[in-house]
Chains A and B, each alone.
Chain A
Amino acid sequence: DAKTTQPTSMDCAEGRAANLPCNHSTISGNEYVYWYRQIHSQGPQYIIHGLKNNETNEMASLIITEDRKSSTLILPHATLRDTAVYYCIVRVNKRGAGNTGKLIFGQGTTLQVKP
């Protein structure tokens, strides 16, 4: 089962920041937070990941709370092409018994960017 909780859907105005929340209250110390998105009829696309520090790349920013029980993905200037399903996933990043690095997807948040 997915270890994250996300809102089912959100709307955002084009050009504004999109803030997508995720709860992962049972996250373990060695688990990272990953974000992927899936645009209609395509495979999921990696966005960003982090452990406890905030992270930023060319696509987005990831803000993780100090207790690591929740996080927010920020798309600073949403465009119509950002309309997609966004998945928040927790994943162990170290090799260990039975750990294959597989991703456990939940239902995700459907983000609709509107003109």
Chain B
Amino acid sequence: GAGVSQSPRYKVAKRGQDVALRCDPISGHVSLFWYQQALGQGPEFLTYFQNEAQLDKSGLPSDRFFAERPEGSVSTLKIQRTQQEDSAVYLCASSPGTVNTEAFFGQGTRLTVV
């Protein structure tokens, strides 16, 4: 069965470079979340989509971070002008409904900015 798929699994970017991280949620899932996980820390919420609508972007750390989900399925997290502090694992999760359903996580994309 297909779970949440993220690509690439690993990304090395030079400081100042733009990156795009992709998330393929489970088919039909309404809710989609992005999280950032620094080494040794728990995941931190970045942003939330309900279908194509971005209802919460309170966790995005700066205006260099941008997420979209134009057709309510695949989502892309874009980071412009990457900095070393952006190095982390970026996790995507999807849920079949809103609020009261469990979230299914992908394996994440490990971003290293050098």
Name A residues whose Cβ lies closer than 8 Å to a Cβ of B. 2, 41-46, 49, 85, 87, 92-95, 98-108
Partner of A102, one of B56, B101, B108: B56
B7 interfacial contact with A, CB 8 Å:
no
Q: List the one stretch of B14-22, B69-77, B79-87, B92-100 in contact with chain A.
A: B92-100
Given the interface contacts A49-B102, A102-B56, does A43 sit within 8 Å of B4 by beta carbon? yes
B45 interfacial contact with A, CB 8 Å:
yes
Q: Are A105 and B42 in contact (CB under 8 A)?
A: yes
Q: In the complex the two chains form, what is the Cα distance from A34 to B104 in whole Å?
A: 13
Q: Are A92 and B102 in contact (CB under 8 A)?
A: no
Central interface residue in B44, B100, B106, B107, by most chain A CB within 10 Å: B100
The 7 closest A-B pairs by CB, nearest first: A43-B105, A105-B42, A101-B99, A93-B100, A46-B102, A100-B48, A100-B56
Q: In the complex the two chains form, what is the Cα distance from A43 to B108 in whole Å?
A: 6
Name B residues whose Cβ lies closer than 8 Å to a Cβ of A. 4, 31, 33, 35, 41-45, 48, 50, 55-56, 59, 91, 93, 95, 98-108
Partner of B33, one of A41, A98, A102: A102
DSSP class of A's interface residues: helix, strand, loop or mixed?
A: loop
Given the interface contacts A43-B105, A95-B99, does A107 sit within 8 Å of B56 by beta carbon? no
Task: Give min CB distance, B50 to chain A, whole Å.
Answer: 8
Central interface residue in B31, B35, B95, B99, by most chain A CB within 10 Å: B99
Given the interface contacts A100-B56, A102-B48, A102-B56, does A44 sit within 8 Å of B98 by beta carbon? no
Task: Give min CB distance, A84 to chain B, whole Å.
Answer: 13
Q: Are B91 and A44 in contact (CB under 8 A)?
A: yes
Q: Are A43 and B93 in contact (CB under 8 A)?
A: yes
Between A and B, 10 residue pairs with Cβ closer than 8 Å are A42-B108, A43-B106, A45-B105, A92-B99, A100-B31, A100-B50, A103-B33, A103-B43, A105-B35, A105-B42
Task: Give min CB distance, A38 to chain B, whole Å.
Answer: 8
Q: In the complex the two chains form, what is the Cα distance from A95 to B95 in whole Å?
A: 14
Task: Give min CB distance, A5 to chain B, whole Å.
Answer: 13
